[in-house]
Amino acid sequence: MNLVEKTEKTFALTTPLYYVNDLPHIGSAYTTMAADVVVRFQRLQGRPALLITGTDEHGQKIQRTAESKGQKPQEFADEISTAFVSLWELLNIQYNRFIRTSDPRHEAIVKEFFYKVWDKGDIYLGQQKGWYCVSCEEFKEERDLLDGHRCPIHTNKEVEWRDEENYFFRLSNYQNQLEAFYQSQPDFIQPESRRNEVLKFVSQGLQDFSISRVNLELGFPIPVNPKHTFYVWFDALLGYVTALLEPDAEPTLENALGKWWPINLHLIGKDILRFHAVYWPAMLMSASLPVPQHVFGHGFLTKDGTKMGKTLGNTLDPIALIDRYGADAVRYYFLKEIEFGKDGDFNEVRFINVVNADLANDLGNLLNRNLNMVKKYCAGDVPSIVSEDITVNNPLKAIGLPLGEKVKEAYEALSFSQGCEAVLSLVRASNKYIDDQAPWSLYKQGQQQSVEEVLYAVLESVRLAAYLLSPIIPNISSDIYQQLGFGIDFNDQKQLSVLAPFKTHAKWGLLTNKQTLGTPRPIFQRIEPLRQL
């Protein structure tokens, strides 16, 4: 299923807006790394793309956490929000907008949106009774709870009983419209298993949900009754809209929605699927606004089979990981090793094995070894061969020619691991090809033409691999490109689609002898294996 195809020219995608109840952990980084790969891939193809991320700064969870630390909620939110920004810098995330839901401009957008829904007659005052998980910021059905009234996601937290007056959104009014929408846009919810979950949930009958709270200070007041504040999710989802405002634009829906709306892709974790795939489109339908094109719910990063999370305290510190291994290795591991959409366990021994095998050995050594042979056997110049001189029976050309399209399809379907595997198959075939062809023997036998053909085919394969992996490992790819004599930095958004357009660079056979090769140097330092398990 092609997730990122759209007839319009622009492409907008979002990460969730992260709660500021604690420092970011690797789970929050996971969605953001994936989003960054998608946005970089769009840009590589010359498509204007906008990546929205940010922080969700309202609700009881944050209010309580700030109180427990003896801090004012806003001060606390400022600190944590800054930590997210710094982590995105360290991880080399090319986001365009960072929205904080405490932004006063956001209040204006929420208010305007509220009145649209209010005027439609979709909001009413009622009594909310039920079990609430503060960590999820969500009411739970009694039948879904674990023993001792514990939340199934935050298994160490008990849900709390609520019986209070709230404003409700008439979700039940949208049952038919939503069902018709899911039918007409079958790829709205991805992957398929998540779509089925949502369809099942909706078919059981939708109930109205409360959009206000009493006794909650941390939130915007409800315009028609300031004793109530907005339920955190009602305001948070609208953060995606506020984020679209140009910095100096007046905060109106019209200004926000002009250029990038509707969002092409919301990337989220599976725990917040209902909000994005049911509540959100219904809210937009009520306000007579177009709904987003796709919602993709990925799996959880787990530790010993349990979701890593701030509430459970079993997280992994992404900063320590980046400090130790570098941003590219971290990005590569999570995108390549875990099938996007499924859960995946983190294990440091495995991490080291994977990045050593793929980045240091298969890719890094291949380049290094080959550049040294070019120095020795071809006076340091790219062999003066053109792709047409090499027959299609050449194993590298045979894999290389269709690879660009194959990897494009994988990225577009958000199958990052498949994309990496496809590229690695070329890299591995290149290593085997060198061993089989033994250019050192060919050289000794005076078969210069064959030596040059082998070395050209391998250099070109490394180039293509670097290009196609550049959304995932931009620093390493830039380093490879520079050693191959291209003055191209894959982190430079402005020059990329002009200097290295997808339609030429994603094709095997681009390298020519006009390139002046750089000095060989390792692109990824092998990591010492851990001694303990």
With CB atoms as reference, the residue minimizing the distance to ligand MSP is 269
Closest CA to 105 of 263, 261, 220: 220
Using CB under 6 A, which of 13, 17, 295, 378 touches ligand MSP? Answer: 17
Is 133 marked as binding a ligand?
A: yes
What's the Rg (C-alpha) of the chain? 26
Of 43 and 298, nearer to ligand MSP (C-beta) is: 298
Q: CB of 298: closest distance to ligand MSP in angstroms?
A: 7
* Alpha carbons 306 and 302: distance in angstroms, whole number: 5
Q: How many CB atoms lie within 10 A of CB 488?
A: 19
Is 298 marked as binding a ligand?
A: no
Of 239 and 341, nearer to ligand MSP (C-beta) is: 239
308 near ligand MSP, rule: CB under 6 A: yes
211 near ligand MSP, rule: CB under 6 A: no
* Alpha carbons 46 and 44: distance in angstroms, whole number: 5
Of 321 and 523, nearer to ligand MSP (C-beta) is: 321
Q: CB of 343: closest distance to ligand MSP in angstroms?
A: 8
Within 228-287, the residues that bind ligand MSP by CB under 6 A are 236-237, 239, 268-269, 271-272
User: Which of 25-33, 88-96, 141-149, 318-326 is the region at the interface with ligand MSP (rule: CB under 6 A)?
Assistant: 25-33
| Phi-psi sector, 509: left (phi>0), alpha (psi -120 to 50), beta | left
List of long-range contacts for 247-252, beta carbons under 8 Å, 24+ apart: 251/105, 251/106, 251/108, 251/109, 252/108, 252/109, 252/112
338 near ligand MSP, rule: CB under 6 A: no
Quote the crossing angle between the two packed helices 73-90 and 26-44, to the nearest 10°. Answer: 50
Residues 277-306, mask of contacts with ligand MSP (x by CB under 6 A): -----------------------xx-----
**Total chain residues near ligand MSP (CB under 6 A):** 21
Residue in the structure block whose two tokens are 């050449």: 394
Of 150 and 369, nearer to ligand MSP (C-beta) is: 150
Q: Is the backbone peptide bond immediately before 262 cis, with ω within 30 degrees of 0? A: yes
- Contact in structure between 335 and 328 (CB atoms under 8 Å): no
Is 378 marked as binding a ligand?
A: no
List C-alpha distances in Å: 228 to 59, 140, 209, 258.
12, 21, 15, 31
Residue list, annotated binding site: 133, 136, 151, 154
Residues that bind ligand MSP (CB under 6 A): 16-19, 27-28, 30-31, 56, 236-237, 239, 268-269, 271-272, 300-301, 307-309
Residue list, annotated binding site for Zn(2+): 133, 136, 151, 154
